[in-house]
């Protein structure tokens, strides 16, 4: 199963914020959309970073309440690991395990075209396992 297949099910919408927006704005966006991370893009739509709930927690632990008014660029991770539409679900799992993160933005021709979260990966893996069980049962029943 490829990233393109995952996006076919979940859609290509990606929630983004800009580096100059406040951490407070980003927290509101995370809460409103019930998500764990936002991709940080500039006005041209290029990926500049990723801000996850872990970054927010770390930032606020260091800066206290004043941290809310600081820009997203102060807390985000700048070196973002991205994937392409043709990457496989196994490659994404490998990236997440090695990098210890749960979100991978999908980029094609320098354009952000989707995001895969650990939840998407687990959902697809469970579906594949369930299909395998059905196929095995049929195989046994017809044997």
Q: Find out whether 59 and 66 touch, Cβ atoms under 8 Å.
A: no
Distance of CA 113 to the CA centre of its chain: 12
The site map against ligand AMP for 36-55 (x = CB under 6 A) is: xx------------x-xxxx
CB nearer to ligand AMP: pick between 17 and 50: 50
The least CB distance from residue 81 to ligand AMP, in Å, is 4
Strand locations in 46-135 (E): 47-52, 103-108, 111-117
List 2, 70, 73, 77, residue binding ligand AMP (CB under 6 A) = 77
Contacts of 80 (CB under 8 A, 6+ apart): 39, 47, 49, 50, 105
Between 37 and 89, whose beta carbon lies closer to ligand AMP?
37
Interface with ligand AMP by CB under 6 A: which residues? 36-37, 50, 52-55, 77, 80-81, 99, 101-104
């Amino acid at each position: 199963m490829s990233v393109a297949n995952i996006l076919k099910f979940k859609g290509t919408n990606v929630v983004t914020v800009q580096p100059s927006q406040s951490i407070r704005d980003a927290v509101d966006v995370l809460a409103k959309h019930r998500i764990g991370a936002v991709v940080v893009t500039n006005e041209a739509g290029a990926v500049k970073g990723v801000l996850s709930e872990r970054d927010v927690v770390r930032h606020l632990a260091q800066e206290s309440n004043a941290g809310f008014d600081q820009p997203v660029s102060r807390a985000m991770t700048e070196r973002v690991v991205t994937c392409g539409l043709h990457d496989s679900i196994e490659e994404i799992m490998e990236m997440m395990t090695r990098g210890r993160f749960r979100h991978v933005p999908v980029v094609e021709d320098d354009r952000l075209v989707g995001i895969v979260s650990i939840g998407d990966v687990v959902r697809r893996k469970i579906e594949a396992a369930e299909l395998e069980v059905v196929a095995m049962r049929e195989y046994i029943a017809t044997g």
